[in-house]
Every structure is written in C-alpha cells, then in structure tokens.
Amino acid sequence: MAKILVFTEYTDQAVKNVTLEMLGKLSGHELHVAAIGTLAASGKDDLAKYGAQKIHVLNGDKLDQYTPEGYANALKDFISSESFDYVFAGATSLGKDLFPRLSGMFDAGMASDVTNFVFEGDVFHGTRPLFAGKCLAKVQIQGPKPHFVTVRPNALGLADSPSSAAGDLNEVSANAGDIRATIKEIVKGASNKVDLTEANIIVSGGRAMKNAENFKILEELAEVLGATVGASRAAVDSGYAPHSMQVGQTGKTVAPTLYIACGISGAIQHLAGMRTSKVIVAINTDPDAPIFTKADYGIVGDLFQIVPILKEELQKVL
C-alpha cells in the first residue's frame, strides 16, 4: 500500500471531478488530499466520500490566487514533510503548468496526461497516449520518490460506489516563498458551462456550420443535454468560434462520455483531441467522412435538419 497525495483544484468551492476520479481509482492506498486556499464544507464531504483519509488545506501569504512559483514552493515544503510515495493531480491547465515545476524541484520522475493506471503492490503502471493518440505507451516512473502523475480529466470515470473515509481536516501554514511573476487579473468567460476538458457531454461544430450565428442550434441542443459546445479548428480558423472552444491537437484534448460531432469531417488533428471519448456520434452529409471510422453512431444527412429533430426528441425523453 502506497502513501499517496492527490492535489485538488476547485471552482466555486466545488471540487473538480478529476480529483474524485483519481480517489476512486486509488482506493486501497493511504490517501491524502491537498488543497490551497478555502475549501468549502461540501468539497470536504465529497473528498471524504471518495476515500480521502486526510484533507490538508494549505494557506499563507501570497497564496490567495494561483501562481506557479507560490503554489510549487508551498507544496514542496508540505510534500517534503510527509514522505509521500506518489503525488497525483489532474492534467488540467493548472496541473500541466504546476506539476513539471514541482517534480523538477524534487529531481523526480513524472508521468503526464495518463488515461489509465494500475498498481502492482506499490509500483505504478500507467497508460499514456502518444503521437496524437495513435498508440498507447505503458509507462513506469524511475528515480527517487515521490513520483508525480497527472491524469486526463474524464478518462477514469467516477467510482460507482465510492468508499467513504474519515476525511480528517488538517490546516497547514504554508510559505509561498519568493514570487517573481504574479497574475494581475483573471477574466472569466461569459459562459457558465463546464470547461471543455471537464465536460461530460460535448456538442461540436465544424466548417459546415457556415457562420457563427448557426452555432445557436448547437447551443440549444447542448442546453437540453447539459453539454458544453466545442468547435473544430476549421470552424475556429473561419471565425465561427473562439479558440477557447477548439477541440483537437492544437486546441483542447477532451474525453467526455458523449461527443457529438456536427459537420466535422474528422481530420487527424481533430481526432487527436477527442478520440478517447466514450461514445462518439457523427452527423455529416459525406458518408465517406473520416469521422465515421471513429464514430460509434453515424447519421448521414444535413445537420441543420437533423440537430433540431434530435433536440426535440431528446426534450421528450429528458
């Protein structure tokens, strides 16, 4: 049994699902969770429900908002004091920024963006996509401990029956150290939808959407499904959608339970960003479009006719 720390992020006091996914998968080990800032009681309850035995909340000067140096310094001191075997985090924007720096501070190995893993005793074996998902590498980590791991959101899925633990709370006074670069302002997007990388359902549009106004029909379908709207690079390059909505090799990599591709041909760069989706539905007028080779369900037809019908039928069911 390994001693494992899971670093959690939270938005509006709600713990990100990727943390709960990792805790469910790590059941059976000694599980600790670290958060920086103010964690709501509901967040602590969720962490305990999914197996966190001890929840460490780090606070100190200059830790009220994220900086890579401040967070890394605070976590380094805490991790050094506890002798963890592994430190996990989500492969989110923050995790990808923070964890390479943190692992470098320990001169330790790191497995990044893994989509699955198992433990044989205390030895970690991870699965990591390479070459835009064309192959899967089996990875282990060598060198001194702790070993660092980041996990792709939505890749593991939530445990069906989480095993609750004590969730004992430990307040930690942390030192951010010297910070040379600070974030002056964080501007939130206008949408209240879940970010693409964490969305459980995604409806994406391609060049066939023809203009930005036509994305409204995808937004209406997404509203019924509780989904987030994405776009292909072709749609973004054409000015139909902002880059923040782009799914693909040069956009965001996603792994939702359901991915609905509307008017997307399925270029390899787009497939690289969504091929790990659990169920893929494709709507395209071209029966030979590459997207159909990856889709679980395909509809050959005009998306402007099919999407409204799909929305109406789903409204009846949901």
pLDDT tens digits, 243-263 = 999 999 889 999 999 999 999
Q: Domain 3-173 is classified in which CATH homologous superfamily?
A: HUPs (3.40.50.620)
Q: Mark the ranges of the chain whose per-residue pLDDT is less than 50.
A: none
One-letter amino acid of 143: G
Helix-helix angle 17-25:41-49, to 10 degrees: 30
- Amino acid identity, position 93: S
The domain spans of the chain are: 3-173, 196-317
Model pLDDT, residue 189: 65
Which residue bears the tokens 């989706």? Answer: 277
Question: What confidence score (pLDDT) does residue 190 get?
Answer: 60
Residue 191: its pLDDT value, please? Answer: 63
Task: Give 156-193 pLDDT, tens digit per residue.
Answer: 988 887 778 888 999 999 999 999 988 887 777 666 67
SS3 content of the chain, % helix, strand, coil (to 5): 30, 30, 40
**Phi, psi (rounded to 5 degrees) for 116:** -165, 160
Do the domains at 3-173 and 196-317 have one common CATH topology? yes
Give CATH for domain 196-317: 3.40.50.1220
Q: What is the pLDDT of residue 167?
A: 84
243 phi/psi in degrees, rounded to 5: -60, -25
Structure pTM?
Answer: 0.87
* Per-residue model confidence (pLDDT) at position 113: 94
Looking at residue 181, its pLDDT comes to: 85
Please give the pLDDT value at position 182: 82
Angle at CA of residue 93, ends 89 and 97, nearest 5° = 75
Confidence at residue 245, expressed as pLDDT on a 0 to 100 scale: 95
- Residue ranges of alpha helices (H) inside the chain are 17-25, 41-49, 68-82, 93-105, 215-225, 233-237, 268-274, 291-294, 303-317
